Chains A and B, each alone.
Chain A
Amino acid sequence: MVGLLSLDLRSPSLAVVSGGPGVVLELMLGAALVLARPGWIGTILAFLALLFLGHLAVAGASDPATAAVVGAALLLIGELSQWSMDGRLVGSYDARLQVSRCIGVAWLTLLAIGALVLSLVAAGLPIAGGIVTVVVGMGAAVALLGLFSAVAARAPIGTGRRDAA
């Protein structure tokens, strides 16, 4: 998504020039996931951010709303990549761990988006779709996630004996 948002579609040659680094970064991300290198995530995020900023600089445009969306996407990329690497550990893992992590990532992203919306509102910058739509959407997302969290928290954790093998 970050790659698509960074595409410069003013001319075919510009699209190729701006799309090339995006493809390379996608490949780098794929390699980091396959090779399970969490140390690469930061570098990839930095290059993705640079790609988007480069696109804005070349286009000479100012687009705070899209920048906020790309910021949330960067966070999501970092969290999901790390989760993917953690989930591949060898051993016998409770399924609850993954549910808990999923809810954690969702809360983190939601919190970041909420903070971004507040900053945009505070700075008086335009919000795509209008403030009401965004507030309703955020409220619905929080309610849904709260429901999931409550259900997950009520599921019993193994309190008795449990065979690890």
Chain B
Amino acid sequence: MIRRASPRLRAYLVLGAAGLIAGAFLGRPEPVLLVAPLLIAATLALVVVRDPDVTIDVTLPTDRVLEGQDVELGVCLDAPRSVPWLELAVALPPGLAARGGQRVVGLQLEAGVERQLTFGLSARRWGVYPIDEVAIRVRDRFGFFAYERTVDPHLSLRVFPTPAALRRAIRPVETQVFAGDEVARRRGDGIEFADIRQYAPGDQIRSVNWRLSSRRPELHVNLLHPERSTDVVLLLDTFTDVPGTDEQSSLATAVRGANGIANHYLRRRDRVGLIAFGGSVRWLVPAMGLGQGYRIVEALLDARVAMSMVWMGVDVIPPRSLPPKALVIAITPLLDTRSIEALLDLRGRGFDLAIVELAPEAYIAAPADPFAATTRRLWRLQRELLRDRFRRLGVPVATWDPSEPLDVVLEEVRAFRRNARRASA
């Protein structure tokens, strides 16, 4: 432990020495009597001082929690000698908050008696948070000496993002060849009724529509939609993060949305992949199952903005992570030119693309003066032009204000795609 003397102790010793010298020099008792109490106190402090030898053990009952959940950090203190004044402080990273706002406690320890404390921690934002600094400071009874020590308990807390609730997802234009839950647009073996046509050689007898065939001179067969799986690739724009208040930001919202969408498609036995497209590119090849869900969550925890001025296009994305006929759902604030160009490029390459735009206006403060208000209006117009550009290319752009549920936003995408299909038909 590091020992620090109080500035008061130094002052007492200096004053004491000065008083003694003055008394001896002047030959009068008053200077000595004046500083004698200070000298006595300083001597006493130096005599009774002892290394407190406090042992500290920090534990976390779990290392994984969901965003918004609480966890109790346990601290166990023990000392062979009684400690009259002990202060304990836990350094918390920004995404974690102390419940009740208290991160510092002051207490006494009895000799040989173990004392257990619990700190309630609130996980305010997803992420991986190290708890690597617990500081203790022990003072002697008179406060002349302070012993300080910082303990690294080597603990970390993984806070998983709360998945955005989703009841219906976006239907892809094309499905894959494997069986799944998505009713394919093409016809084949399945359950969902599609159409009726005249019997042709090679048709199975079980597909004959007997009710209709009995009223007609020729046989008719039912056509069905097969159920197929889909490939969904979530493209997370990590070029820009618009910081808001209270630990909220566009990236935090994007991660919650991506987690919700991934969970939804994985529950339907679809293959889901992830591309974090930004200063550094990270990807997960589409796969299905619970394991992929965990892999996606782990990858989302690592999502962060890496500052880079290097131009990046879709060429840097490995082809395996963007399979043909995949539905690409981009979650982006549409602020960085590189991500905008990449999305246009993907559309140009024929990918089925939908954009969930994270409205930056929701995170930034309202304009304070008329000039700023005018600038903001111009900026909005510019963004509307950009959205229109995507829409003209057949790409739905739904703006997501974090205050509204993701379902509402995806309904906008579904409506756009439905109307576009009708218009093209």
Contact = CB atoms under 8 A, between A and B. Distances in A.
A and B assemble together: yes
Contact of B44 (A53, A108, A113): A108
Interface stretch (B98-106, B165-173, B232-240, B314-322): B98-106
A158 to B, nearest CB: 7
B277 to A, nearest CB: 41
B15 interface: yes
A82 B11 contact: no
Given A91-B104, A159-B110, A53 B30 contact: yes
Contacts of A71: 33-38
A100 B141 contact: yes
Contacts of A108: 41, 44, 142
Contacts of B44: 108, 111
Interface string A84-128: 001001111110110011001100110111011001100101000
Interface string B1-34: 0000011101110110011001000001111011
B85 interface: yes
A62 to B, nearest CB: 7
A49 B108 contact: no
Contact of B106 (A56, A83, A89, A120): A89
Interface string B104-147: 11111110011111111000000000000000000101110000
B40 interface: yes
B87 interface: yes
B278 to A, nearest CB: 37
B153 interface: no
Contact of A158 (B19, B31, B85, B115): B115
Given A79-B142, A91-B102, A97-B107, A112 B41 contact: yes
A104 B37 contact: no
Interface residues of A, number: 58
A41 B38 CA distance: 13
Contacts of B113: 157, 159
Contacts of A52: 34
Contact of A96 (B14, B100, B108): B108
Contacts of A92: 102, 104-106
B289 interface: no
A153 to B, nearest CB: 10
A108 B141 CA distance: 10
Contacts of A89: 87, 104, 106
B15 A38 contact: no
Most buried by A among B33, B37, B120: B37
Nearest to B110: A157
B84 interface: yes
Contact of A101 (B18, B85, B89): B85
A67 interface: yes
Contacts of B106: 89, 91-94, 97
A119 B35 contact: no
Contacts of B120: 163-165
A162 B113 CA distance: 14
A109 B28 CA distance: 24
The 10 A-B pairs with the shortest beta carbon distances in the complex, nearest first, are: A42-B11, A91-B104, A112-B37, A93-B106, A165-B100, A75-B37, A67-B30, A67-B33, A104-B141, A92-B102
Given A49-B35, A67-B31, A157-B113, 10 more contacts: A45-B38, A64-B30, A75-B41, A86-B139, A91-B87, A97-B84, A104-B141, A108-B142, A159-B115, A161-B117
28 contacts: A42-B11, A42-B12, A43-B11, A46-B11, A49-B15, A49-B31, A53-B31, A68-B33, A70-B34, A74-B34, A75-B38, A78-B11, A78-B41, A89-B106, A91-B87, A91-B103, A101-B141, A104-B84, A112-B36, A112-B40, A113-B37, A116-B37, A157-B107, A159-B113, A162-B116, A164-B102, A164-B119, A165-B102
